[in-house]
Structure 1
Amino acid sequence: MSVFLRANWENIIMANYEIAPEILSKYLPKGVSLDLHDGKAYVSLVGFMFKNTKIFNVPMFSLGTFEEVNLRFYVYRKVGKELRRGVVFINETVPYKPVAWLANALYKEHYTTIPTRHQWHFDLNHKEIKYEWLVNKKWNSINVKAALAQRAMLKGSFEEFIFEHYYGYTKVDDKISMEYKIAHPSWKINAIVEQVIDCDFESMYGSDFKVLNQTQPTATFLAEGSAVLINWKRNKI
């Protein structure tokens, strides 16, 4: 029972916004610190596909393929000489209530359920990836056109900072946080040619994130994705 979740995460869009660190302070789990890039804090609006999902190695069949949209930020924790870089989710959205219930019940995460959909189009040189989610009777979306060719992330780059976080941290309450490990290879990325982001951050994530409605992303990335494992073991911190 060491592996809680196995799945493929595919065509992962990350739209990355600079944000004032004080906005994130109340969401910061106990025992971790904000992970900054060049002295700046970031949140990422993320859209991707879950495929072939298994819980404790049991296939989820009709519930195993779905879109997820989330808003996350970046933290680290020092354990001896080890630096554990991870993410904290403000909210994670999926279309199936049983999936959200299971994640919230077992991992104390912050999943909600709303309608989602996606469109993928490929030609010889490019691919267009679009994820949509319905909030207050309006379809929000994150949409990119990218080169079909892949490349490795550049060492020390902003893209590496955004993607290379392999722990998850959950704020259970003001006194308890949970830590879990996420395993996947370093992802290849596709160069973005065009992007269109239409998200009402206030309606989706609350008034703390209203400022993002008037903020342009610093950068947007698209990763190919891979198989992913999330360990069952959690550390209370």
Structure 2
Amino acid sequence: MSRPVGADRVFLRTLMSIPFFSARCVLRATARNRVVVGYAVDPARVAPFLPDGLSPVRDDGTTPISLVGVELTNLRVLGVGGPGGQRVPVVELRVHVRPDGAPSGPAGTWTAQAYVPRRLVAWGARLLYGERVATTSMQPIRREPVDQVEVTYRFDWKGREQRVRARGEQPPVMPAPGARAHALLRPRWRYSTARDGTLLRTRVERPAVPICRVQEHHVTVQWSAAYGDIGALLQDQSPSHVLLAPRTPVTVHGPART
């Protein structure tokens, strides 16, 4: 049974009223088989879909929007082993944003929509971080042909299979210092909106890690069905970048009101 909305709100306010909560590590995990398929979109077309208080990042005149598939393993939530056998796949569509009026301020990402296979995970993300998360059946697949790695994320939505796949070279190599891949793979902040409309900011820590050079990729997504009007912006667009990171430690802190 779901918690009543009022109880959710009280619980979240109570947590964020604790002085050390936003600084405390809430979740630790290893992000495995992370596929990032990015698109460059006109910021003016992105802005109407963002919550109040956020503006699209402008990178060479465009805003990065990324479809990300990842498996979170070795989950520890507040120091306790996580749900679902400590292995949770996630597929999300995220937009690179920054706070209004801060052209050089703390850039991060806002999740337009995420999908997970477990209700408890979705409930926790919605409660603590105000994330847009839905549950559906999901099947991540990893194959390792000779000198290669291939990762596929498949999930069902509204009776249709959605699929993201990338194949890269082994062994992985470290991107050059200052390479765009670092900003795309390691956004420091996640922005979301609490039930009362308050903008939340969450610190995320990820070290620089080697990535596989992507040789081939394939995306079959019904953009409007899975991601609504913001997803429709990507219909018939070709990716501007595709990244494949085999393994990344990640630490997520508690949300703070901006």
Give the distance between the partners of 2:157 and 2:83, measured in 1 at CA.
27
The answer on whether the counterparts of 1:63 and 1:99 sit within 8 Å (CA) in structure 2 is no
Moved more, 151-160 or 10-19: 151-160
Name the counterpart of 1:10: 32
Tell me which amino acid in the other structure corresponds to 1:8.
T
Name the counterpart of 2:256: 235
Alignment of 1:204 onto 2:239: no
Does the C-alpha gap of structure 1 residues 32 and 210 become closer, same or farther in structure 2, counting only changes over 3 Å? closer
Tell me which amino acid in the other structure corresponds to 2:38.
N
Alignment of 1:100 onto 2:138: no
Name the counterpart of 1:28: 50
Give the distance between the partners of 1:28 and 1:213, measured in 2 at CA.
19
1:24 CA displacement: 2.3
Unaligned runs of 5+ in 1: none
Alignment of 1:168 onto 2:195: no
Alignment of 1:49 onto 2:71: yes
1:77 CA displacement: 4.3
What is the TM-score when the length of structure 2 is the normalising length?
A: 0.84
The answer on whether the counterparts of 1:29 and 1:174 sit within 8 Å (CA) in structure 2 is no
Moved more, 71-80 or 88-97: 71-80
Give the distance between the partners of 1:32 and 1:4, measured in 2 at CA.
24
Out of 142, 146, 152, the position equivalent to 1:120 is 142
1:76 CA displacement: 2.7
1:174 CA displacement: 8.8
Name the counterpart of 2:202: 180
Out of 111, 114, 117, the position equivalent to 1:89 is 111
Does the C-alpha gap of structure 1 residues 211 and 84 become closer, same or farther in structure 2, counting only changes over 3 Å? closer
- Secondary structure of the residue that 1:213 maps to in structure 2? coil
Give the distance between the partners of 2:101 and 2:249, measured in 1 at CA.
27
Alignment of 1:192 onto 2:214: yes
Tell me which amino acid in the other structure corresponds to 1:100.
A
Alignment of 1:66 onto 2:96: no
Out of 235, 246, 251, the position equivalent to 1:213 is 235
Tell me which amino acid in the other structure corresponds to 1:236.
R
Report Cα offsets for 1:128-164 as digits up to 9, x if no partner. 1111110122211111110011111233333233123
Of Structure 1 and Structure 2, the greater strand share is in 1
- Secondary structure of the residue that 2:112 maps to in structure 1? strand
What is the TM-score when the length of structure 1 is the normalising length?
A: 0.91
The answer on whether the counterparts of 1:28 and 1:171 sit within 8 Å (CA) in structure 2 is no
What is the CA RMSD across the aligned residues, in angstroms? 2.3
The answer on whether the counterparts of 1:86 and 1:167 sit within 8 Å (CA) in structure 2 is yes
